[in-house]
């Protein structure tokens, strides 16, 4: 077997010997990582498949750019839940001695999934930014066609970048990464820089959204807040509640991705030790954990997705009283009001003139009657 692999290896030296330099986990570490992958992988797959089924079964949701981006994120995380555990466990746990092409093909699948996931997070962040800062022009700026083109462009870039090593961009003897076999350090540096830039844009978008939410929170405390229209009050309450959710999103994003990207940056500039390689293997599982958390943060918290899920199960009529009661308690974490009138959310129907003392049920009814975007 070794002789066969050696003949098929374009890089000098035996493939198994080369790969063994990256198989650094001991028995206990293998057991821990196995349990993480065995638990997180199926959960991630089922969560995101559920999101795709709900969005795909609703013609209304399929027409909204916000849910197209959430669907793209769910698709990327489904791929991550399939590619990452299989390739990661085969390499680190089973010590699989693949040929360079086979290994790079597996790595390309993982790279494509995580690149698509982070890229979809960027599209979602930009969607929410436009929704907050350009509310009156949201439907004009972000049409269904533009959203579709953005998703197609994202996946075209993700696929192209991911398969570059398989198409020939491999390392020479003195430029190989200490984290990934056969991967050139320049390629790794380029991919890491791309992801860091995307994460910075995501952080900037959410920081601007939180700044707007802070402004609205200050306005809600002024005496003039009593004279605001219902539409504007609903928007401000949504912005304030959104800021709390965004803080959690940013924390999880940084915790899951910063350790992995930090190791990749260090690998470009210095020789990593075996202890650092082992720490990197554990940090990689955080990316899979992020894919498991994404549907909880971006999809399952959305009221319209929950309504579509209930309709899919046929529970809408049976549980309608309970659903109305829950919505009336201010469970509006995901829907941002986009009135058909001016930027304050005013409309020409009589509900826009409801006083600030109106019931919370009126708030829920007002929000459901208007065009909305998911945040």
Question: How far is residue 178 CA from its own chain's centroid?
Answer: 27
**Cβ count near 293 (within 10 Å):** 20
Three-state DSSP at 88 gives helix
Helix H or strand E encompassing 364: helix 360-368
The whole-angstrom separation of Cα 179 and Cα 111 is 14
**Cβ count near 177 (within 10 Å):** 20
Residuewise pLDDT in 10s, the chain (375 residues): 344 434 444 444 467 777 888 888 888 989 999 999 999 999 999 999 999 999 988 888 888 998 999 999 999 999 999 999 999 988 888 877 888 889 999 999 999 999 999 999 999 989 988 888 887 888 888 899 999 999 999 999 999 999 999 998 888 777 788 899 889 999 999 999 999 999 999 989 888 887 876 665 555 555 555 555 555 555 555 555 665 677 788 888 889 999 999 999 999 888 888 889 999 999 999 999 999 998 888 777 777 887 887 887 776 555 555 544 444 444 433 434 333 333 333 333 333 332 333 333 333 333 333 344 555
Phi, psi of 238, rounded to the nearest 5 degrees: -65, -40
Two tokens, residue 149:
């083109």
The whole-angstrom separation of Cα 183 and Cα 174 is 11
Two tokens, residue 137:
């022009």
The whole-angstrom separation of Cα 294 and Cα 300 is 9
* 108 within 8 A of 162, measured Cβ to Cβ: yes
The whole-angstrom separation of Cα 89 and Cα 107 is 12
User: What structural domains and CATH numbers belong to the chain?
Assistant: 2-313 (1.20.1070.10)
Residues ≥6 apart with Cβ < 8 Å to 127: 65, 66, 69, 142, 147, 373, 374, 375
The whole-angstrom separation of Cα 43 and Cα 63 is 28
pTM given for the model = 0.77
- Angle 357-362-366 (CA atoms, 0-180°, nearest 5)? 120
**Cβ count near 175 (within 10 Å):** 13
């Amino acid at each position: 077997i070794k002789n066969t692999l050696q003949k098929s290896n374009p890089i000098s030296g035996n493939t198994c010997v080369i790969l063994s330099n990256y198989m650094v986990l001991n028995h206990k570490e293998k057991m821990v990582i196995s349990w993480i992958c065995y638990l997180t992988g199926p959960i991630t797959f089922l969560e995101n498949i559920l999101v795709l089924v709900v969005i795909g079964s609703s013609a209304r949701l399929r027409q909204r750019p916000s849910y197209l981006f959430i669907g793209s994120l769910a698709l990327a995380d489904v791929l991550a839940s399939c590619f990452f555990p299989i390739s990661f466990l085969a390499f680190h746990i089973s010590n699989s001695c693949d040929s360079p092409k086979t290994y790079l093909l597996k790595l390309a699948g993982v790279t494509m999934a995580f690149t698509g996931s982070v890229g979809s997070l960027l599209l979602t962040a930009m969607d929410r930014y436009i929704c907050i800062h350009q509310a009156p022009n949201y439907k004009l700026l972000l049409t269904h066609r533009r959203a579709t083109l953005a998703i197609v462009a994202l996946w075209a870039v993700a696929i192209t970048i991911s398969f570059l090593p398989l198409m020939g961009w491999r390392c020479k003897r003195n430029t190989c990464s200490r984290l990934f076999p056969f991967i050139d350090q320049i390629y790794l540096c380029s991919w890491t820089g791309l992801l860091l830039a995307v994460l910075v844009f995501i952080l900037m978008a959410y920081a601007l959204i939180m700044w707007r939410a802070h402004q609205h929170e200050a306005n809600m405390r002024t005496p003039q807040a009593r004279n605001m229209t219902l539409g504007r009050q609903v928007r401000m309450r949504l912005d304030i509640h959104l800021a709390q959710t965004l803080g959690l999103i940013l924390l999880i994003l940084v915790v899951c991705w910063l350790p992995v990207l930090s190791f990749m940056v260090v690998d470009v500039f210095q020789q990593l030790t075996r202890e650092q390689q082992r720490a990197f293997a554990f940090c990689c599982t955080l990316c899979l954990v992020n894919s498991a958390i994404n549907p909880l943060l971006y999809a399952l918290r959305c009221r319209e997705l929950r309504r579509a899920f209930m309709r899919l199960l046929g529970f809408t009529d049976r549980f309608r009283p309970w659903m109305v009661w829950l919505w009336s308690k201010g469970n509006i974490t995901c829907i941002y009001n986009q009135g058909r009138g001016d930027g304050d959310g005013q409309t020409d129907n009589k509900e826009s003139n409801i006083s600030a003392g109106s019931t919370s049920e009126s708030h829920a009814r007002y929000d459901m009657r208007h065009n909305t975007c998911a945040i």
